[in-house]
Structure 1
Amino acid sequence: MNARAPHSRLLARLDADIARTRNLVDAACLRAERAGFLARRGQFAEAKAELDALHVHFADRPHPAVSAWLCMVEGWMLHFGSLSAGARDKLKRAQALSAAAGLAQLQALSSAWLAHMDYSHNDLDGLVRNLTLALQLAAPDNHAARARACMVVALSYDFCDRMDLAQPWYVRSREHALAEGDETTQSALNYNISAHRVHHAMQAAVFGGDVQGQARYAEAGAECASNFDDWVGTESLDALMPMQRACIASVQGQYGDALALYEKHLEDARQQGLARLTGNYLADMAWCRWHLGDRTGARRDGHAAAQSIDSSMHVDDQATTHARLGLLFGLLGEEELRTGHGARAQECWARHRAYQDEMVRAFEAAQLVTYRPGQEPQDRVPVKG
């Protein structure tokens, strides 16, 4: 960890609460929450040691609150270790345990995190259901649940190219994260905002748009996210930001810099949960190689990228990969591949646009409305189904 990293306010509060708590179950829940913070920051060995100790201590006399916390933290370890799909199952278990035990605030937190997983898995029904549940249950001072839920609303609107609707939710999420003293959530906000700017820049590069304007926003966001993580000592998922920088360099025409970043960090990115994006990365590496005069390498990576496109890729990622390959194979004189990938790109892009429209309509129907400065947002919304 960076030696300059400040002492976390959240960690300090948890340490103080643990020191003065005499109730065994309350202390165990706080210890689990502390382990979760460490896991989200990337300190997995220390987090696992604490979890193992809690498992041993409660093996013969399980308590629902402790069990729910252990499931949640195990989910975080899987997510922040490798973006594993198994994290979602752990969080579903945490949600079920907390709901059965009537632990509303823990259910709110697990529901908010499940919403984030639903968002990543394009499960729109689950996303809306868990967001509304989290915001309905979370007390005004449940900053952890509200920060995560507000972030997911913001990310969803940002994904839909509706920054006008996303921005107020980003603001609310950051306010709750600051109130909680949770640097890992602030880090997640920075990273995800930057990631969206990168995606929009790449989409503009292949489908048309303000490429350099989007790239400048992406570059500023990546710089902010990297500096913040260096400052607070975030160690988890450390290959993700270099891959963002590679994409930014590519759309800015800095092909040598982009290729060097891709080659250095691609394998780590795959191991940290981005294997489904291999096709995107290989296609862009091929694009860089062509512009650097390596036609053989460009053709090789281009064909490898085409082979890597499968159903695990989100449709917007499929669209940008096909579009990049269509442009590449056109430059390489492979007309049949240019036409085929170009057609697939347009098909996937149309499906992506339709999903964006569906998501906005679903959020509007669920009354996940935009926060307006000067008035309380409509956070307490009805639960669907």
Structure 2
Amino acid sequence: MSRLLARLDHELAGCRDPLRRAELAAERGCYLARVGDIAAAQLVAAQLRREHGDGRASRIAVRIMLLEGLILFFDNMDPLATDRILRAHTVALAWRHDDLIRLTAAWLGHMQFVRGDFDAMLKAFEPCFDRPGACLEASSRVCVLIGSAHQFAGQPQAARPWYERARREAITLGDDATIGALVYNRPAMSLVTLRLDALRGRLDADELQMAGIGVESAYAYCLGAHQRSLMQLKDACRARVALLGGEPARALVIYDELLRQQDTRFGFHADRLMLEIERAACLLDVGRDGDARQALDRLDPALHAGLALEDQLLFLLQHARLSRALGHPERAEAWASVLADVQGRYDSEIGRLKAGLAGLHPSRLAA
């Protein structure tokens, strides 16, 4: 059991105030959702709804909505999670619960990051900066996401102080789930850049090796810490490392298993499409040209519009590579102008993200 759960259980055992007990139970349920014990988290949410669902206790109302949002997200990345967390944030603002304003803002920013809406992420984080008083739950989450955003933007050195503060605060809280997120986010974010580099013929083998070590470390940590939430994302990272590292047969086994689970989501977007085109790349790389051609033929390039912007770019680059390799250069040419437009929008998005991050520093979060 994590130290955070042990602390919450100890406090619950000695607490006689029903409202405080409810808030502690909600906090415990949020942690259970984050580590993937969805059934237990749902039981907590249902009980809290029965006992405090009238909304008269505003702090508990916020906690319940946040819990429900995290269940939706960590169960299967349901887009409705954003709505529940936004509602929780709105209620916290209305009642001026400063710690809950920051906590819900931090998780709202998390949802926007996953959606790829970095402007909205930075806007959501505003209540967490330049305010007196500390909320370690909120600041550790903000630090994880700001660090990840820096790394996504190709600024790993700028990410370091954010990751370091997130780790310190997670250790203080006994929050193993945040430690797990830190272990995973570093290699996961670096893989975006590595995949783009590989499709442009400039993959750095040393960086790929480091990412592979990071992915395996994250996988082992989460299994050892009994954190089962969103394991499909870690499996996708393992497949991508194998594909980039010249092990397409190993990657193909993972992609086949991921795509076999028809009810599993991979993000707020149609991310299964990315797995399907990467599987086609595996088929080509293992010499199954006919199967690769069939797999590619089943993918309508117009579907790229349903992806996050970085995945749109990755999809179209991969589609062009496969089209040429399989003897259909005209397909690549047909989408060349669209690819150029997506590349331009991606470069602009990264530029805006860097500009938005430039004015932020961990010292602006209350210690």
TM-score (normalised: structure 2):
0.94
Selected match of 1:368 from 330, 353, 360:
360
In the alignment, structure 1 residue 145 sits paired with structure 2 residue 138: yes
Match of 2:104 in 1: 110
Match of 2:344 in 1: 350
In the alignment, structure 1 residue 19 sits paired with structure 2 residue 13: yes
In the alignment, structure 1 residue 204 sits paired with structure 2 residue 190: no
Distance, in Å, in 2 between the alignment partners of 1:281 and 1:60 is 43
Cα shift at 1:78: 0.4
Match of 1:316, SS state, is: helix
Q: 1:117 to 1:138 in 2, by over 3 A?
A: farther
Match of 2:266, SS state, is: helix
Match of 2:309 in 1: 315
Cα shift at 1:349: 2.2
Amino acid at match of 1:318: Q
Selected match of 2:281 from 287, 290, 299:
287
In the alignment, structure 1 residue 56 sits paired with structure 2 residue 50: yes
Q: How many residues align?
A: 365
In the alignment, structure 1 residue 379 sits paired with structure 2 residue 365: yes
CA deviation vs aligned residue, 1:173-192 (integer Å, no higher than 9, x gap): 11111111111111112222
Selected match of 1:223 from 196, 216, 222:
216
Match of 2:265, SS state, is: helix
Match of 1:92 in 2: 86
Kept in 1, the 8 Å contact 2:266–2:272? The answer is no
Distance, in Å, in 1 between the alignment partners of 2:191 and 2:263 is 18
Cα shift at 1:270: 6.0
Distance, in Å, in 2 between the alignment partners of 1:108 and 1:378 is 13
Q: 1:332 to 1:134 in 2, by over 3 A?
A: same
Selected match of 1:232 from 225, 242, 254:
225
Cα shift at 1:79: 0.5
Match of 2:27 in 1: 33
Match of 1:186 in 2: 179
Kept in 1, the 8 Å contact 2:232–2:266? The answer is no
Kept in 1, the 8 Å contact 2:30–2:41? The answer is yes
Q: Quick check: 289-298 or 144-153, which moved more?
A: 289-298
TM-score (normalised: structure 1):
0.90
Cα shift at 1:210: 3.0
Distance, in Å, in 2 between the alignment partners of 1:239 and 1:94 is 28
Cα shift at 1:340: 2.9
Cα shift at 1:338: 2.4
Kept in 2, the 8 Å contact 1:41–1:234? The answer is yes
CA deviation vs aligned residue, 1:322-380 (integer Å, no higher than 9, x gap): 1111111111111211223454334322321111111111233xx313x5xxxxx2336
Cα shift at 1:303: 2.4
1:69-84 → structure 2 map (5 Å cutoff):
69-84=63-78
Amino acid at match of 2:316: H
Kept in 2, the 8 Å contact 1:326–1:340? The answer is no
Distance, in Å, in 1 between the alignment partners of 2:4 and 2:170 is 10
Cα shift at 1:137: 4.5
Match of 1:262 in 2: 255
CA deviation vs aligned residue, 1:56-77 (integer Å, no higher than 9, x gap): 1124573111110000000000
Match of 1:42, SS state, is: coil
Kept in 2, the 8 Å contact 1:112–1:148? The answer is yes
Amino acid at match of 2:265: Q
Amino acid at match of 1:305: L
Match of 1:325 in 2: 319
Q: Quick check: 28-37 or 40-49, which moved more?
A: 40-49
CA deviation vs aligned residue, 1:60-119 (integer Å, no higher than 9, x gap): 573111110000000000000111111111111111111211211011100001111122
Distance, in Å, in 1 between the alignment partners of 2:242 and 2:78 is 28
Q: 1:310 to 1:159 in 2, by over 3 A?
A: same
CA deviation vs aligned residue, 1:211-250 (integer Å, no higher than 9, x gap): 4223212211111101110111011112221111111111
Match of 1:276, SS state, is: coil
The runs of 5 or more residues in structure 1 that have no matched partner are 1-6, 372-376, 381-385
Distance, in Å, in 2 between the alignment partners of 1:207 and 1:343 is 17
Match of 2:30, SS state, is: helix
Amino acid at match of 1:214: E
| Root mean square deviation, CA, Å | 1.9
Match of 2:239 in 1: 246
Cα shift at 1:278: 2.3
Distance, in Å, in 2 between the alignment partners of 1:273 and 1:30 is 31
Kept in 2, the 8 Å contact 1:72–1:94? The answer is yes
The runs of 5 or more residues in structure 2 that have no matched partner are none
Kept in 1, the 8 Å contact 2:109–2:122? The answer is yes
In the alignment, structure 1 residue 124 sits paired with structure 2 residue 118: yes
Q: Quick check: 53-62 or 321-330, which moved more?
A: 53-62
